[in-house]
Structure 1
Amino acid sequence: MTETARTGGCQCGAVRFRIRGELGRSSICHCRMCQKQFGNFFGAFVAVPRDGVEWIREEPSYFQSSVNIARGFCQRCGTPMTFRSPEGLEITTGAFDDRSDLAPTIQINHAARLPWVDTIFHAPAHDNPDYYARQESIISFQHPDEETANWPEHGLRL
């Protein structure tokens, strides 16, 4: 049987990972620390096998956010990457190259959620074709969602 590898990394491509083995639960956490780590409404994570993560470029830097928790990030671009606790390592959902099958299966610290978070998708969608056409003309320096032999390919220094 062939073992599937999952890959991912930060926005600039300096921190990249490969995971072998079965992924654990996919969750979102509403705690204030996750809100601050992501600068957003909640944090989204996937539990990874204890010995199944290989850092194939740089490893994340860590901030000790509490006695038992360290939060990993790319020191170069600031992308939130990991949540490390005595129970193991979780990697941010958005850091995976393919996120299509990583829907959250549980919400953590649900009582701490922002009071309006349950209704955010009821807001109208911004659907202006001109806006999206302008977005397509942007030259992105973001690492693509795939492995690359050399990065950055655009000549900027990491």
Structure 2
Amino acid sequence: MSKTLTGGCQCGRIRYSVDLENDEAYLCHCRMCQRATGGFAAAFTQVPLAGLNWEREPDWFQSSPIARRPFCSACGTPLGFAFLEGDDKMDLTIGSFDDPSGFVPILHSGAESLHEAWLDIKDLPRLYSKDIESVSRRWKAAGREVPE
């Protein structure tokens, strides 16, 4: 049973829809993904190219001799990862989906660069953006509510 999900970049210039067979996702901890996303890991789901439809083709950066990455050159949103040749699938970033809540992480990839301190963080204090004065004040000054 497949489902169609949608997503895109922060500014809305790049949009996609994709037919997915499952809700499996993974974290890639390799240094290339850390640098490409600016995070401790990149959260991805693997998708069939045949089921992926770009409403507008993303920009692409060849990040290594074996792979390239789609992104939006207007807002900088990283959208995925694809090998240069020989594959009928690619990865999309979980955060670029309109509703990423249904994905379930099933493994760690690129574990040679994994940062253990970032894995078990469930007991850290949680601050909500609306409760952070410096954030909420700026949104209010812009005439808007703090986005969820």
TM-score, normalization by structure 1: 0.75
Structure-1 separation of matches of 2:107 and 2:130: 35
- Deviation digits for residues 18-69 of structure 1 (CA, Å, limit 9, x no counterpart): 112424741110011111111111001111112001111x211111111111
Instruction: Pick which of 23-32 and 99-108 moved more.
Output: 23-32
**Identical-residue share of aligned pairs (%):** 35
Q: 1:8 touches 1:16 (CA, 8 Å); kept in 2? A: yes
Give the superposed CA RMSD.
2.8
1:51 equivalent in alignment to 2:50: yes
- 1:9 — aligned with what? 8
Q: 1:21 touches 1:52 (CA, 8 Å); kept in 2? A: yes
Give the secondary-structure state (helix, strand or coil) at the position aligned to 2:132. helix
Q: Comparing both structures, which one devotes a greater share of its residues to helix?
A: 2
Q: For 1:58-69, list aligned pairs within 5 A.
A: 58-69=56-67
Cα 1:59–1:115 shift into 2, 3 Å? same
Counterpart residue identity of residue 112, structure 1 = S
Q: For 1:133-144, list aligned pairs within 5 A.
A: 134=136, 137=140, 139=144
1:123 Cα deviation after fit: 2.5
Q: 2:18 touches 2:47 (CA, 8 Å); kept in 1? A: yes
1:126 Cα deviation after fit: 2.7
Q: 2:17 touches 2:53 (CA, 8 Å); kept in 1? A: yes
Q: 2:27 touches 2:44 (CA, 8 Å); kept in 1? A: yes
1:98 Cα deviation after fit: 1.3
Cα 1:119–1:14 shift into 2, 3 Å? same
Structure-2 separation of matches of 1:129 and 1:63: 35
Instruction: Pick which of 78-87 and 7-16 moved more.
Output: 78-87
Cα 1:74–1:127 shift into 2, 3 Å? closer
